[in-house]
Each structure stands twice: as structure tokens, then as C-alpha cells.
Amino acid sequence: MLYQELCEMYADLEKNQSRLKKVELLAAFLKKLKKNEENDIIYLLQGKVFPDYSEKELGISEKLVIKALAKSGGITNGEIVSYWKKFGDLGMVAEHITSKKRQNTLFSVRLSVKKVLENLQRLPTLEGNGAVEKKLSLICELLAPAGALEAKYIVRTLLVDLRVGVAAGTMRDAIARACFFYDDTEKIKEAITIIQEAYDISNDWRVVFEEACKGLSFLERMNLLPGRAIKVMLFLKESSIEEGFNRVGRPALLDYKYDGFRMLITKDEKGTISLFTRRLDNVTKQFPEVTDYVAKFVTGKSFILDSEAVGYDPQTKKYRPFQDMSQRIKRKYEIKKLQKELPVEINVFDILYHNGVSLLKYPFLQRRKLLEKIVAKQSYKIQPSIALITDEQKKAELFYIQALANGEEGIMMKNLEAPYKPGARVGYGVKIKPIDNEFDLVIVAAEYGTGKRAGWLTSYTVACRDKENLLEIGKVSTGLKEKESEGLSFVELTKKLKPFVTSEHGRSVHVKPELVVSIVYQNIQKSPTYSSGYALRFPRITRLRDDRNSRDIATLQEIKKEAEKK
């Protein structure tokens, strides 16, 4: 397939804001793909070149793109930068300078999608001496023969910023439309659910599409694969134990809500143990002690466990807040040293797969019993989460008090009959914790401070989610420390935000929605100022959630629910 053909579809998608129209366009495109066999194209539809479970990243900086554009366009870096200031998007710069190039490109070789994928997929494999030059030449190889539209989307793909609005739900619905031709809406809904489930266990749209082309039963037969990242199941929030019971039924399993970070542990048939975060990052290297504990204290040839990793002080054995742990997640060197200073305890609370069998559809109680059988209780190393099964309000309250006294964040209450739904926030479990007025939100814009704070981004516009859209809900500038050594500071946030800046206007910047923060507030008011229609009053940043992305933030529905309570 010619890359131009894909780019024309990108342009159509960009023009059409309606989700239905996008689904229709994508479905028509996928139908063509069915005969094509170049199915890696499916990653390109979302501006990616690898499956979602993959850790490979293009890792191309704007600086390198500017260099490549200058080189292939025969103009200076400075000129590119001034166009960039004008358009605010390097993709549009590429389009502009390519359209001004002489016509001779019309007669040169046309770019195929295959060639684009080949070059892009090679980029992360280049390392060491001369890697930058090699990357530059792979990019120029694509830009040289590209037409204006092609150049625009090559650049946007390189910068992982395609801007055509194909989110997971749109992809899922398009696959359903391309592969299944039911008239009955119920049947379509069922197909969509099955496609979603297949994606949630594989995180690979290519495989899902290929199985869907063969038929629904193929999708249903897809199994979990230990060794690969999986999206974990998420929970709802309730404000009292009574509401918790109402949601999950009686009796329920209650377990401690540990204040650490989610860790998915897998052991494949060959015995290889891998660890993943909730953002699907592989952190096996960063936590060698966990691999040891799993090898020693968990029985089974292969399995997938869901757990919370909590850091503690090795001397006092006191648990440490999540914030301290983020250093370990990111650390790539001196791992042993940090391991001694900040050891973790793994609290296993679910099991998804055991000895070749997927347990997703098994009732939770059965999964829990199995995990208690195979995970040994080794305090400060690995253990099943501390749990209680009860139908009594009094006992549940005592358990809650005990959890808080123990320094935990609260408790979880879980439905004993429920299956495990990867990637979904369903009411199969709820969290109960004392801090109620808190939301995880994503930063979408920021402002530079003045006076002593000049040069630092000190005020942040945050947004919640409404399906595929991000809606602003307030500005926050308090809660941060002055110095990095004192905790989360605006210095640190500025450093983190800078690579995501997409445009600047005076003191304000827009940023890619990448950084998620927890915000505590006093109350929520209706407000025309923000696109969500709500504003948080007295918001304060309490922590950075490096383990989250903008998929995991609070939804408009949750905000509404809270606003209506008051």
C-alpha cells in the first residue's frame, strides 16, 4: 500500500471530529487491509509502530526532527525553528516546506507503508557510536521522497503526536464494523465486548484484528500470555463500608489497601519471571529481589499475579509513602544500592493465570484460595494481602480501623463471585479510604511564574476525562515545595513538563497530556470557565503519579457524582 493512501485517511480522520464518522472511515480502511497482509499498518493508525504491550519507543527528539527537516528540505535549522514558532507543530512545518519544494519529487519513487514501517521500526534498534547519524539518515530516507501530506504525518509519527484522534474505543468499534456484519445491535454490542476483552489480554490490535478476521470464536479462544504486560483491573470508590457492601454484595472479601504501586508479576512456561507496572513498563531489572522472592516463595510452573509493591525502611520496618518508591521504578543504575535502602514487600491480591490456564472467568473467591495456596507468607518479602471475609458491618469496620492503624491507605472490598476484567474499572471491588476529596488529573497546560519563580512553570491547568476527550477542570498552583529536596517541587514538575511542551504563548504553555497528579480540593462547583463545566475549589497538588497515564485519570462522571453530593 502507498503511504499516501494512509495519509489521505489520516487527513480525513483529522477533518472529521465525529467519533461515528471516524469509526466508519477506519472500518472502510481495515476492510482493505484484510486482503493486504501488511497488518503492522494497524499500529500506524494510532500513530504507533509497535504493539501497545511492547516497550520499544521511537525516542526521537524534536531537535533531531528539525535537523532532518533542514537537511532534506535544503534549508537551515533556524528557518525550521521560526516556522515551528509560527505553526506550533513540526508536522505542519514539514507539510509547508515540502509543498514549497520543487516538483521533481513527483517523479521520484513513491513511499510505501512497508518502507515507512521498516525505517521507523529500525530506529530504536540503533545504539552507540554513530547512532544519531544513522537515525538521521533513516528519517531523511523517508522525508526525501515524501509529498507534503506524507511529510506531515511522518514527522508527527516520529514525535508520537499524530493528532488524528483514534483512541482505543474507536479502533475497537472499527474492527467490529470491518469484520462483523450483524444487523442486530445486541449482537454488535456483544462482538464489541469480545473484541475489547481480546485486546485487554493481548494489548495488540494487530493480533486482535487478525483473529477477528477469522471469526468471533477465534477471539474468544485467545489466552493470556505470561511474560507480557497486561492492563490491570481497576476499582471504584465508595465513601462508606455500607455503600461498599451494597456495591459488592455480602459476604465480601476485605483486604488492606497498601500505599505502594501496582505490580503485575508473570512467570512463563520457561520459568522466566517478569514484572510490569500499571503503565505496562517492564521493571524486572529494577526489582531483582522481587524476582528472587517469586522464584523462592511462589509455587507453579507458570502464573500471572496482581499485587501491590510497598517500600519500607529497612531499619525501622516502617512503610514508606509511594512517592519514595518512584525512584526505584525509574532507576537504571546502582540498582543494588537502592534495593538495600528502599526494599519492597509484595502483597499479592489476585491471580489471573496458573499453569497454562486463564483464571479470568473464575470467581474471585476461587482465585483467592488458589493464591493463598501458592504464595507463601513471608513478611517484608512477599505474602498474600491481609484479608478478611465477612458479611458483618462491625467486623468490617474493625478491619478498616486496623488497616488505618497499621499505616495503610484504607481497605478494598471485593465481590467474591466476580471475574477479573483486565483494563476495566468495574465495580467488582471498591476502595474505601479516609481522604475523599482527591482526584487524579492530567496536566494539559501551565504558566511560568514571575519574580523569584520566573523561569519555572508554577501554575498548572488540569483536566479530567470524558470518554476520549480531556476536559479542563481547574488551575492549581499550591501544594508544591520550593526545593526538590523537600518533596515534589515546581522545579521538578517544570523539568518533567518541558519535554511535553507543544506550544508557547507568552507565559503560558500547552503540554501533551502525560503528567498525572493527585489533587486534593475542598469542593467542586459548576463553572462555565472550564470545558468540563466544573471547577475545583482550593485545589492542591499532593503527589505526582508516575505510574499513571491520562487513561487512568478521574472521569467527568466521577466529578459529577462528587459535585452532586455536596
Q: Applying CB under 6 A, does 200 fall inside the site for ligand ATP?
A: no
Query: Quick one: CA dihedral 99, 137, 81, 456, positive or negative?
Result: positive
Q: Minimum CB separation from ligand ATP for residue 30, in Å?
A: 32
Please check whether residue 47 is in contact with residue 160, taking contact to mean a CB–CB distance below 8 angstroms.
yes
Helices and strands (DSSP H and E) totals, the chain: 21, 20
The count of C-alpha atoms lying within 13 angstroms of the C-alpha of 391, restricted to the half-sphere facing its C-beta, is 4
Which residue in 89, 95, 238, 308 binds ligand ATP (CB under 6 A)?
A: 308
Q: Minimum CB separation from ligand ATP for residue 86, in Å?
A: 40
Site string for ligand ATP, 358-397 (x = CB under 6 A): ---------------------------x------------
Based on CB atoms, which residue is closest to ligand ATP, 101 or 262? 262
Stretch of 42-50, 79-87, 142-150, 251-259 contacting ligand ATP, by CB under 6 A: 251-259
Q: How many residues bind ligand ATP (CB under 6 A)?
A: 13
Q: Minimum CB separation from ligand ATP for residue 553, in Å?
A: 9
State the residue for C-alpha cell 503492522: 40
Which residue in 135, 262, 279, 465 binds ligand ATP (CB under 6 A)?
A: 262
Residue of 48, 231, 257, 421 with catalytic role: 257
Which residue in 178, 225, 234, 298 binds ligand ATP (CB under 6 A)?
A: 234
Please check whether residue 237 is in contact with residue 430, taking contact to mean a CB–CB distance below 8 angstroms.
yes
Q: Applying CB under 6 A, does 520 fall inside the site for ligand ATP?
A: no
Buried b (16+ CB within 10 A) or exposed e, 313-346: eeeeeebbebbbbbebbebeeeeeeebeebbbbb
Based on CB atoms, which residue is closest to ligand ATP, 211 or 255? 255
Examine the residue annotation and report whether 257 is marked as an active-site residue of this protein: yes
> Residue 109: what residue type?
V
Q: Minimum CB separation from ligand ATP for residue 203, in Å?
A: 17
Please check whether residue 198 is in contact with residue 185, taking contact to mean a CB–CB distance below 8 angstroms.
no
Helices of type H across 205-283? 205-214, 216-220, 241-248
Q: Applying CB under 6 A, does 247 fall inside the site for ligand ATP?
A: no
Please check whether residue 420 is in contact with residue 359, taking contact to mean a CB–CB distance below 8 angstroms.
yes
In this structure, the dihedral spanned by the alpha carbons of residues 285, 289, 292 and 297, taken in order and rounded to 10 degrees, is -130
Question: Rounded to whole angstroms, what are the CA distances from 158 to 13, 66, 153, 362, 431?
Answer: 19, 11, 8, 42, 40
Based on CB atoms, which residue is closest to ligand ATP, 527 or 549? 549
Helix (H) or strand (E) holding 6: helix 3-15
CA gap 69, 290 in Å, rounded:
46
Q: Applying CB under 6 A, does 173 fall inside the site for ligand ATP?
A: no
Stretch of 82-90, 256-264, 476-484, 507-515 contacting ligand ATP, by CB under 6 A: 256-264
Which residue in 153, 245, 258, 362 binds ligand ATP (CB under 6 A)?
A: 258
End-to-end alpha-carbon separation of the chain, Å?
56
Q: Minimum CB separation from ligand ATP for residue 497, in Å?
A: 21
Q: Minimum CB separation from ligand ATP for residue 192, in Å?
A: 23
Stretch of 92-100, 194-202, 205-213, 253-261 contacting ligand ATP, by CB under 6 A: 253-261
Active site residues: 257
Binding interface with ligand ATP (CB under 6 A): 234-235, 255-258, 262, 308, 349, 385, 412, 431, 440
